[in-house]
Amino acid sequence: MYTMKQVCDETNMTYQALKYYCNEGLIPNVKRDGNNHRIFNERDLKWIKDLVCLKKCGMSIQEMKTYLSLCLQGQSTIPQRKEMLSQKRKALLDSIAELKECVDYVDWKQNFYDEVLSGKRPYVSNLIRTEE
């Protein structure tokens, strides 16, 4: 069994975030010890790690609740869950493409500055007016 702190350490979640997930019903059947502290088993820990990943994928709390609801309904909802994940995957790939464009720009700009500093290219700025 895991305490809240141990789960936080395992998942890199803050205590407040884990408590919020519990209070929002994202972790079903949370157990309590003799002191009424939340405790988690291995299955809970794996599910919480899944929630962390879904959050990183851009899933909102409401979307996670929908996903959880579908999971709790069993195998018959696998097509709906696959569709949800497919949509998130597409959004992630779109974000990766945008980030790649940003990295390419930064690389180009760094190369431009290197060439200016080495004297291979004159400095030209779109922000500073020059007399033409």
- Look up residue 119 and give its DSSP letter: T
The beta strands (E) that lie in the chain are given as: 2-3, 31-32, 38-40
Q: How confident is the model at residue 2 (pLDDT cuts 50, 70, 90)?
A: very high
Rounded to two decimals, the pTM is 0.79
Q: What is the mean pLDDT of residues 83-95?
A: 96
Contact 26, 68 (CB under 8 A): yes
Query: For residue 32, what is the domain's CATH number?
Result: 1.10.1660.10
Same domain for 51 and 97, yes or no, is no
Indicate whether 39 pLDDT > 80. yes
3-class DSSP assignment, residue 26 = coil
Facing residues of 38 across strands?
32
Amino acid 125: pLDDT: 87
Same domain for 52 and 1, yes or no, is yes
pLDDT tens string 14-24? 999 999 999 99
Chain centroid, CA 72 distance in Å: 22
pLDDT tens string 108-120? 999 999 999 999 9
Residue numbers of the domain that contains 4: 1-59
What total of structural domains would you count in the chain? 2
Q: How confident is the model at residue 132 (pLDDT cuts 50, 70, 90)?
A: low
Q: Is 29 left (phi over 0), alpha (psi -120 to 50) or beta?
A: left
Residues 1-21, buried b or exposed e (16+ Cβ, 10 A)?
Answer: ebebeebbeebebeeeebeeb
Is there a domain that residue 67 lies in? no
Percentage of the chain beyond pLDDT 90 is: 91
Amino acid 56: pLDDT: 94
